[in-house]
């Protein structure tokens, strides 16, 4: 249901949406049922001339059942939600898939710094591409992010990824995502972090593999570029057996 | 008729002053109502800085020519604030208001600076910032008076490290970089800042 309002741009966005759907539909079912029951009761037992209201103490087993049965049924629904919650929580926050790319996210009052690993795919090397308030990602690539805060707590939130992770000063927090939709989307701070909290929006730009490689090439200084001629030869030699 | 035009003119400029004061509400949290700054939020004193300098700095922050370096953590704090000023007219109005604020003496926080040695080093600064430290708009040099000493130290360090003034678009900042380079070590920075503080008294 949520995807009609906000596209899903990460591999786990669907799981979060399904959890929301499950909660929404179960709660909606019980809400409508209870509401309908109350409307019926109000109508059925409306004031009539000559009829006195009864005082029910709820002590007999039969009277208690009116509460007990729905109570247990709702508990079963809760367990269903709980089970699915653990499953999604593990998928999004606990399990760390093998990653192909790394990106470092540094939050501060009131800006985001994104350190991209650059052409060699390794952080903290000379060819890192550092951008402020702009994160560039490659579609269909498993990422690991490292989240830091320089001053106070912030929260790294990308609504289209259905991702929200607090950043805490003094801690390095690792997480993962896999962008699955090309485009440009919002990143926001979701933890009140001071006066400029509302003015620290950033953008995530998800590019196709070709566009991403072109972007890397464009932002890598000439002397750090890998020998492309060699790379071509290598890939050709790998493909050669298939062609033959 | 002349009188009418004059009153119209003064009404317009009065409206601009009001606008500047209104817009300054966004600055108060860090720079304080009197423009004296706040160390806790890395905000320098801005009261009484020249209109031209303030407008130029806001424009630089807005464009990312200043505070656009990932290493410039305190500059990055100012950047989103500058982007709140949507038009040239707003920048002009708030700059005028800032310039109209009365500068106040600022307490020293720095220790270990030798003002005597700083005086000799200040000879380099004098050409642009003036012997009295009051600055010179024609040379894009701001006043150094009634400023926090920690701010001077931080900015000199930023100029030295290329965190400020190294953006190719920041031509006036680039002027300051080689000057800051002449302060070869931390002690020299402290000494010259200690001397600058004596100019305010």
Note the pLDDT tens digit of each residue in A78-93.
Answer: 999 999 999 999 999 9
Q: Give, for all 244 residues of chain A, the pLDDT tens digit.
A: 788 899 999 999 999 999 999 999 999 999 999 999 999 999 998 888 988 888 888 889 998 998 899 999 999 999 999 999 999 999 999 999 999 999 999 999 889 999 999 888 889 888 899 998 999 999 999 999 999 999 899 999 999 999 999 999 999 999 999 999 999 999 999 999 988 898 888 999 999 999 999 999 998 888 777 655 444 444 444 444 444 3
Per-residue pLDDT at B62 exceeds 50: yes
In angstroms, the separation between the Cα of residue B165 and the nearest Cα of chain A is 17
- Is residue A81 packed enough to be buried (19+ CB in 10 Å), middle (13-18) or exposed (0-12)? middle
Model pLDDT, residue B52: 95
Class of domain B2-200: mainly alpha
Q: Count chain A–chain B contacts defined by CB atoms under 8 A.
A: 35
First CA to last CA distance, chain A: 50
Per-residue pLDDT at B60 exceeds 90: yes
Q: Which two tokens stand for residue A169?
A: 């000063």
Best probe of the B interface among A132, A197, A202, A203, by most B CBs < 10 A, is A132
Does this model's pTM top 0.90? My answer is: no
Per-residue pLDDT at B147 exceeds 80: yes
Spatial contact of B108 and B197, defined as CB atoms under 8 Å apart = yes
Cβ B77–A130 below 8 Å, yes or no?
Answer: no
Which of B41, B80, B84 lies closest to A111 in CB terms?
Answer: B80
| Dihedral angle of Cα B148, B151, B157, B162, to the nearest 10 degrees | -140
Cβ B77–A110 below 8 Å, yes or no?
Answer: yes
Instruction: Grade residue B37 by pLDDT with cuts at 50, 70 and 90.
Output: very high
Domain extents in chain A: 8-45+57-94, 101-221
Note the pLDDT tens digit of each residue in B9-35.
Answer: 555 566 667 899 999 999 999 999 999
Q: Which two tokens stand for residue A76?
A: 């079963």
Model pLDDT, residue B102: 93
Q: Cβ atoms within 10 A of the Cβ of A220, count?
A: 18
Which residues of chain A lie closer than 8 angstroms to B84, CB-CB?
199
Instruction: Grade residue B195 by pLDDT with cuts at 50, 70 and 90.
Output: very high
Model pLDDT, residue A52: 87
CA R_g for chain A: 27
B71 vs A: CB within 8 A: no
Cβ A132–B77 below 8 Å, yes or no?
Answer: no
**H helix or E strand, kind and range, residue B196:** helix B186-200
Note the pLDDT tens digit of each residue in A120-132.
Answer: 888 988 889 999 8
User: What is the percent of chain B with per-residue pLDDT over 70, rounded to a whole number?
Assistant: 92
Q: Residue A113's closest chain B neighbor by CA?
A: B70
Spatial contact of B28 and B46, defined as CB atoms under 8 Å apart = no
Note the pLDDT tens digit of each residue in B169-188.
Answer: 888 998 899 899 999 899 99
Which residues of chain B lie closer than 8 angstroms to A113, CB-CB?
70, 76
Model pLDDT, residue B68: 87
- Compute the distance between CA of residue A214 and CA of residue A217 in angstroms, rounded to an integer: 5
Per-residue pLDDT at B131 exceeds 70: yes
Instruction: Provide ipTM, 2 decimals.
Output: 0.72
Q: Which two tokens stand for residue A33?
A: 């049922």
Strands A202-207 and A134-138: parallel
A141 vs B: CB within 8 A: no
Domain extents in chain B: 2-200
Model pLDDT, residue B7: 62
Which residues of chain B lie closer than 8 angstroms to A188, CB-CB?
none
Task: For B172-201, give one letter per residue: b (16+ CB within 10 A) or e.
Answer: bbbebbebbeebeeeebbbbbbbbbbebbe
Q: Residue A110's closest chain B neighbor by CA?
A: B77
Note the pLDDT tens digit of each residue in A35-68.
Answer: 999 999 999 988 889 888 888 888 899 989 988 9
Spatial contact of A173 and A192, defined as CB atoms under 8 Å apart = no
- Compute the distance between CA of residue A164 and CA of residue A27 in angstroms, rounded to an integer: 24
Which of A109, A130, A132 lies closest to B77 in CB terms?
Answer: A109
Q: Which CATH superfamily is domain A101-221 in?
A: Cupredoxins -  blue copper proteins (2.60.40.420)
Model pLDDT, residue A118: 87
């Amino acid at each position: 249901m949520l995807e009609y309002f906000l596209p899903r741009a990460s591999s786990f966005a669907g799981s979060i949406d399904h959890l929301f759907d499950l909660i929404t539909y179960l709660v909606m079912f019980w809400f409508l049922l209870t509401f309908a029951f109350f409307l019926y009761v109000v109508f059925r037992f409306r004031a009539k001339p000559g009829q006195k209201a009864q005082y029910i103490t709820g002590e007999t087993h039969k009277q208690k059942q009116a509460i007990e049965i729905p109570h247990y049924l709702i508990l079963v629904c809760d367990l269903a939600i709980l089970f699915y919650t653990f499953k999604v929580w593990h998928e999004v926050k606990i399990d760390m898939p093998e990653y192909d790319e790394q990106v470092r996210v540094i939050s501060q009052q009131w800006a985001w710094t994104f350190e991209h690993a650059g052409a060699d795919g390794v952080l903290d090397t000379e060819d890192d591409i550092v951008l402020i308030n702009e994160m560039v990602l490659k579609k269909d690539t498993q990422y690991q992010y490292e989240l830091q805060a320089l001053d106070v707590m912030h929260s790294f939130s990308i609504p289209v990824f259905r991702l929200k992770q607090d950043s805490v000063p003094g801690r390095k927090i690792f997480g993962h995502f896999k962008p699955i939709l090309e485009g440009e989307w919002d990143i926001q701070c979701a933890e009140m972090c001071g006066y400029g909290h509302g003015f620290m929006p950033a953008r995530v730009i998800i590019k196709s593999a070709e566009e991403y490689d072109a972007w890397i090439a464009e932002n890598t200084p000439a002397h750090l570029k890998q020998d492309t001629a060699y790379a071509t030869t290598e890939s050709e030699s790998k493909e050669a057996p298939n062609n033959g | 008729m002349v009188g009418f035009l004059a009153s119209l003119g003064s009404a317009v400029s009065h409206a601009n002053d009001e606008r500047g004061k209104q817009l300054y509400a966004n600055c108060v949290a860090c720079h304080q109502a009197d423009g004296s700054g706040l160390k806790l939020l890395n905000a320098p004193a801005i009261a009484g800085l020249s209109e031209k300098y303030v407008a130029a700095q806001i424009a630089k922050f807005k464009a990312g020519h200043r505070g656009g370096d990932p290493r410039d953590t305190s500059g990055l704090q100012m950047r989103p604030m500058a982007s709140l000023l949507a038009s040239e007219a707003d920048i002009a109005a708030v700059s005028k208001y800032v310039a109209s604020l009365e500068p106040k003496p600022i307490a020293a926080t720095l220790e270990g600076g030798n003002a005597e040695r700083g005086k000799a080093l200040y000879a380099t600064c004098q050409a642009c910032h003036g012997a009295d430290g009051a600055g010179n708009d024609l040379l894009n040099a701001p006043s150094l008076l009634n400023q926090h000493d920690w701010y001077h130290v931080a900015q000199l360090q930023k100029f030295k490290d290329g965190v400020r003034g190294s953006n190719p678009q920041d031509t006036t900042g680039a002027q300051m970089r080689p000057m800051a380079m002449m302060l070869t070590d931390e002690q020299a920075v402290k000494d010259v800042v200690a001397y600058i503080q004596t100019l305010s008294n």
